[in-house]
Chains A and B, each alone.
Chain A
Amino acid sequence: MQDFGAAFWLAGELLVSGDETLAEIVVLSLKINAGAVALASAIGMPLGAILAVARFPGRQALVVLVNSLMGLPPVVVGLVVYLMLSNAGPLGVLQLLYTPTAMIVAQTVLVTPIVAALTRQVIEDMDAEYSEQLDSLAVGRLARIGTLLYDARASLVTAVLAGFGRSVAEVGAVIIVGGNINHVTRVMTTAIALETSKGNLALALALGFVLLTIAIVVNGAVGGLRLAMVRDAHA
């Protein structure tokens, strides 16, 4: 496959040359993914922790639901968010369609179940270990959730990375709600889809390599952070 070799060189050239359009796309991709993962974490972590610790009727059904939502097809999420944000939709007045914010919303919907489900698992295991000790210390319900989330921080980094992996690789949702508008909502994945549809396979593949490089850098950096946390926190 000559495309692979060509793509590899092209990717290198793109990275080295500091291509402005590429830089713009990369920066927007990172902003949208960071925003979505941050929001998804802010929602998904407490939600997962509550699911892990609280006991209420329907809890098991909710756990199954959250686990299932991890497999949400991005296109369906994109479509639903589009229908909500469209001028014909209930949230049309917000004028968010075809903006980076709309993309963050769609990505957040996609990533939240992943963060919540992984958090629930981590917190449930930790609660099994901590439960009696925290009871003994007369720690209240809310404080207990905070404690478990904080003490599980090193493990939760993995949940965040899983969420980042999902959002950074996803194209189906963001292309519908973002519209892949040049200089406004074009991100790595939609650019790759566009170049593929133009038949510029080498360029598309090169962008794919760039995306992979970004993912590796982010994972490496966060992984380093996690190691530092583990060093500080664990035996």
Chain B
Amino acid sequence: MRLALLTLALAAAAFAGAAFAADRYIVVQSTTSTQNSGLLDYLLPIFTAKTGIEVRVVAVGTGQAIKNAANGDGDVLLVHAKAAEEKFVAEGFGVKRFDLMYNDFVIVGPPADPAGVEGSTDVVAALQKIAETSAPFASRADDSGTHKAEMKLWKEAGIDPTAASGGWYRETGSGMGQTLNTGIGMGAYVLTDRATWVAFGNKGDYGIAVEGDARLFNQYGVILVNKDKLANVKADLGQAFVDWLISKEGQDAIAGFEVEGQQLFFPNAKGE
């Protein structure tokens, strides 16, 4: 059976190829904004060059990242949903949560500005206007950090947008980039983190409509997953990464990351 031998040989080759990985690596469960903006591609080589520790990033929504980490499928969690992060630590999955950096959310919209919110610095008022005029709004609706922040803002505005789901309120159930692609395609307003927006390559004729409200603050935290609870965690290597991120060197590196001349993340770790 030459055919069988050939297939077996191919399988063996594939498996041999699969086993190339180095031992000194950690898995970071993180959010799409840190990857899509290019921040991690910028930071990680600096850290790896210094420590020899390879960092493998799984970039998903914050909700999924937290679940994956709670399953023990990550050593470090780097996300942006403070309440959920604190719960993660309180339940014993995380060792300790550190503030890492922040940026802010913005609402982007079409030049026609059907809700008349352009230039607004009051995000709650802007959301109310969008709801009143039934202007299309695309939501990620994926339990991500951005989605959680969006729902908090709607609550402050006293509106339950999900009642209009399928009408002017469009729940895409997908990641930031996909929601931007979809929202821009349908002329909808979208709440996005600034970093993803600035680095986004398919802006069309969209621009930032609402920004500068203190309530649009977007805090990122970093947590070492708890080895006592999840035995597979590479605690030493993970700790080294967390320590570096919140050290002066790491914080300076975050501040040094720019896209098109714009600083996208602002380090604010308090140190130890």
Residues of A within 8 A of B (CB): 28, 31-32, 34-39, 41-42, 86-89, 92, 95, 97-101, 104, 146, 149-150, 153, 156, 179-182, 184, 194, 196-203
CB of B180 closer than 8 Å to a CB of A: yes
Chain B CB within 10 A, most for which of A97, A150, A156 = A97
| Chain B contact residues: helix, strand, loop or mixed | helix
B residues less than 8 Å from A37 (CB atoms): 7, 10
Tell me, in angstroms, the Cα distance from A92 to B230 when the chains sit together: 11
Contact of A39 with B11 in the complex, beta carbons under 8 Å: yes
**Are A198 and B11 in contact (CB-based, < 8 A)?**
no
Q: Is the CB of A92 within 8 A of B232?
A: yes
- Once the chains bind, are B56 and A38 in contact (CB under 8 Å)? no
The yes or no answer to B17 lying at the interface (CB within 8 A) is yes
Chain A's nearest CB lies how many Å from the CB of B21? 7
Q: Report if B14 contacts A (CB, 8 A).
A: yes
Assess the B36–A86 pair: CB atoms within 8 A. no
Q: Report Cα–Cα, A38/B203, bound state, in Å.
A: 42
> Which of B14, B27, B199 contacts A198 (CB under 8 A)?
B199
Which residue of A is nearest B38, CB measured?
Answer: A198
Interface residues on B, range: 35 or more
Q: Chain B interface (Cβ within 8 Å of chain A)?
A: 1, 3-4, 7-8, 10-11, 13-15, 17-19, 21, 27, 32, 35-36, 41, 56-59, 68, 70-73, 175-178, 180-181, 199-203, 230, 232
Tell me how far the C-beta of A103 lies from the nearest C-beta in chain B, rounded to whole angstroms.
8
Q: Which of B7, B19, B176 makes the CB contact (< 8 A) with A197?
A: B176
What is the bound-complex CA distance between A101 and B20, given in angstroms? 11
In the complex, residue of chain B having the shortest beta-carbon distance to the beta carbon of A153: B3
Chain B residue nearest to A100 (CB atoms) is B18
- Complex Cα spacing A89 to B1, Å: 37
Tell me the bound Cα distance from A88 to B83 in angstroms.
Answer: 24
Bound: A149/B2 CA distance, A: 11
Q: Do residues B201 and A200 form an inter-chain contact, with CB atoms below 8 A?
A: yes
Residues of chain A within 8 A of B203, CB atoms compared: 199
Instruction: Give 9 nearest A-B pairs by CB, closest first.
Output: A35-B14, A197-B177, A87-B72, A199-B202, A179-B58, A199-B201, A88-B71, A38-B11, A100-B18
